[in-house]
Amino acid sequence: MSLHLVAGAAGFIGSHLCDRLVAAGHAVTGVDNFITGSPDNLRQLAGHPQFQFVRADVTEAGWDAGLPVQSFDYIWHLASLASPVEYLKHPLETLETGSTATRNLLELARRNDATFLVTSTSEVYGDPLEHPQSEQYWGNVNSIGLRSCYDESKRFAEAITMAYHRVHGVRTTIARIFNTYGPRMALNDGRVVPAFVDQALRGEAITVFGDGRQTRSFCYVSDLVEGLIRLMHSGFREPVNLGNPVEMTMLEFAQAIQAKTGSGSGIVFRPLPQDDPKRRRPDISRAKQVLGWEPQVSFDEGMALTIEYFSSLVTA
Ligand code: NAD
Ligand code: UDP
Question: What is the tens place of the pLDDT at every residue in 8-19?
Answer: 999 999 999 999
Q: Does the CB atom of residue 59 touch ligand 1 within 6 A?
A: yes
Confirm whether 181 is a catalytic residue: no
Q: Domain check: are 230 and 107 in the same one? A: yes
| Closest of 176, 141, 148, 150 to residue 161, by C-alpha | 176
Is 77:101 a contact under the CB 8 Å cutoff?
Answer: yes
Q: Domain check: are 204 and 161 in the same one? A: no
Q: Domain check: are 240 and 199 in the same one? A: no
Q: DSSP letters along 32-99, please? A: E--SS--GGGGGGGTT-TTEEEEE--TTSTTGGGG-S-S--SEEEE--S--SHHHHHH-HHHHHHHHT
Residue span of the structural domain in which 240 resides: 3-180+220-244+282-296
Q: Domain check: are 199 and 159 in the same one? A: no
What mean pLDDT is reported for the chain?
97
Residue 31 has phi, psi (to 5 degrees) of: -125, 140
What secondary structure letter does DSSP report for 268? E
Q: Does the CB atom of residue 191 touch ligand 2 within 6 A?
A: yes
Q: Domain check: are 60 and 206 in the same one? A: no
Q: Domain check: are 21 and 105 in the same one? A: yes
Tell how far the Cα of 258 is from the centroid of ligand 1, in angstroms: 28
224 assigned to some structural domain: yes
CA–CA dist 37, 18 (Å, integer): 14
125 assigned to some structural domain: yes
Q: Domain check: are 124 and 160 in the same one? A: yes
Query: 279: number of CA atoms within 13 Å, CB side?
Result: 11
Least confidently predicted of 67-71, 86-90, 207-211, 255-259: 67-71
186 assigned to some structural domain: no
- Whether pLDDT at 213 is above 70: yes
Q: DSSP letters along 186-247, please? A: -TTS--HHHHHHHHHHHTPPEEEETTS--EEE-EEHHHHHHHHHHHHTT---S-EEES---E
How many domains would you assign to the chain? 2
- Whether pLDDT at 70 is above 80: no
31 assigned to some structural domain: yes
Is 8:217 a contact under the CB 8 Å cutoff?
Answer: no
Q: Domain check: are 46 and 176 in the same one? A: yes
CA–CA dist 141, 16 (Å, integer): 30
Residue to mutate, 5, 20, 31, 36, ligand 1, most ligand atoms under 8 Å from C-beta: 36
262 assigned to some structural domain: yes
> pLDDT class for 112, splitting at 50, 70, 90?
very high
- Whether pLDDT at 316 is above 80: no
Q: Domain check: are 94 and 145 in the same one? A: yes
Q: Does the CB atom of residue 180 touch ligand 1 within 6 A?
A: yes
Is 106:38 a contact under the CB 8 Å cutoff?
Answer: no
CATH of the domain at 22: 3.40.50.720
Q: Domain check: are 77 and 173 in the same one? A: yes
Which one of the listed residues 150, 164, 181, 220 is annotated catalytic? 150
Q: Does the CB atom of residue 286 touch ligand 2 within 6 A?
A: no
CATH of the domain at 197: 3.90.25.10
Q: Domain check: are 205 and 290 in the same one? A: no
Q: What is the pLDDT of residue 62?
A: 95
**Rg from Cα positions in the chain:** 19
| Closest of 256, 239, 277, 313 to residue 125, by C-alpha | 277
Q: Domain check: are 159 and 30 in the same one? A: yes
pTM over 0.75: yes
24 assigned to some structural domain: yes
Closest-CA residue, ligand 1 atom 19, reads 57
Q: What is the mean pLDDT of residues 292-297?
A: 98
Q: What is the mean pLDDT of residues 280-289?
A: 98
185 assigned to some structural domain: no
